[in-house]
């Protein structure tokens, strides 16, 4: 069964910039149809940003190398060069969890900026989430 979201619901999520709800909608819609690359990057960026609760080192421990390279490359393609550098910095420090504290702090200190960046990735593409039927 394919889940369908009302256009008005998606519009409301965009208008209120409800990143948490948009994350869920994008995950569900993305299971049933191909979305543009910015939606995948949105999900991966949001997952990375939310990984500091137990320490960002756990994110790097669990992310496959191919997925890591894919995200780093996507950040670059979307012009997020500084963010790509920060993202890549975790690969050199994650094996020593205490060394990742600086990256944990940076992510926490830039929480609002990361949220805005994630939203900007999909800001002009809401129509991609509308029901296609």
- Please give the Cα distance from 114 to 110 (Å, whole number): 6
State the pLDDT confidence band at 16, using cuts at 50, 70 and 90.
Answer: very high
Q: How many domains does the chain have?
A: 1
Contact 100, 93 (CB under 8 A): yes
User: Does 66 reside within a domain?
Assistant: yes
- Cβ-based burial of 38 (10 A; exposed 0-12, middle 13-18, buried ≥19): buried
User: Does 27 reside within a domain?
Assistant: yes
User: Does 1 reside within a domain?
Assistant: no
Q: Which residue has the higher pLDDT, 104 or 54?
A: 104
- Describe the chain by its helix, strand, coil percentages, rounded to 5: 75, 0, 25
Task: Please write the tens of the pLDDT for every residue from 22-52.
Answer: 999 999 999 999 999 999 999 999 999 998 7
State the pLDDT confidence band at 133, using cuts at 50, 70 and 90.
Answer: low
Q: Which residue has the higher pLDDT, 98 or 124?
A: 124
User: Does 69 reside within a domain?
Assistant: yes
| Number of CB atoms found within 10 A of residue 96's CB | 10
User: Does 2 reside within a domain?
Assistant: no
User: Does 91 reside within a domain?
Assistant: yes
Strand, coil or helix: 94: coil
Mean pLDDT of the chain: 91
Task: Please write the tens of the pLDDT for every residue from 61-77.
Answer: 888 889 999 999 999 99
User: Does 13 reside within a domain?
Assistant: yes
User: Cα 4 from chain centroid?
Assistant: 22
Q: Which domain holds residue 105?
A: 7-129
pLDDT at res. 54: 76
pTM confidence score: 0.91
């Amino acid at each position: 069964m394919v889940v369908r979201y009302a256009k008005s619901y998606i519009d409301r999520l965009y208008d209120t910039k409800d990143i948490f709800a948009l994350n869920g909608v994008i995950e569900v819609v993305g299971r049933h149809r191909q979305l543009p690359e910015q939606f995948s990057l949105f999900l991966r960026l949001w997952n990375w940003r939310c990984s500091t609760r137990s320490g960002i080192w756990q994110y790097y421990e669990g992310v496959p190398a191919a997925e890591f390279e894919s995200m780093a490359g996507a950040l670059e393609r979307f012009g997020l060069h500084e963010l790509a550098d920060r993202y890549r910095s975790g690969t050199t420090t994650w094996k020593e969890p205490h060394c990742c504290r600086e990256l944990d702090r940076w992510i926490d200190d830039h929480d609002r900026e990361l949220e805005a960046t994630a939203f900007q990735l999909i800001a002009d593409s809401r129509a991609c989430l509308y029901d296609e039927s």
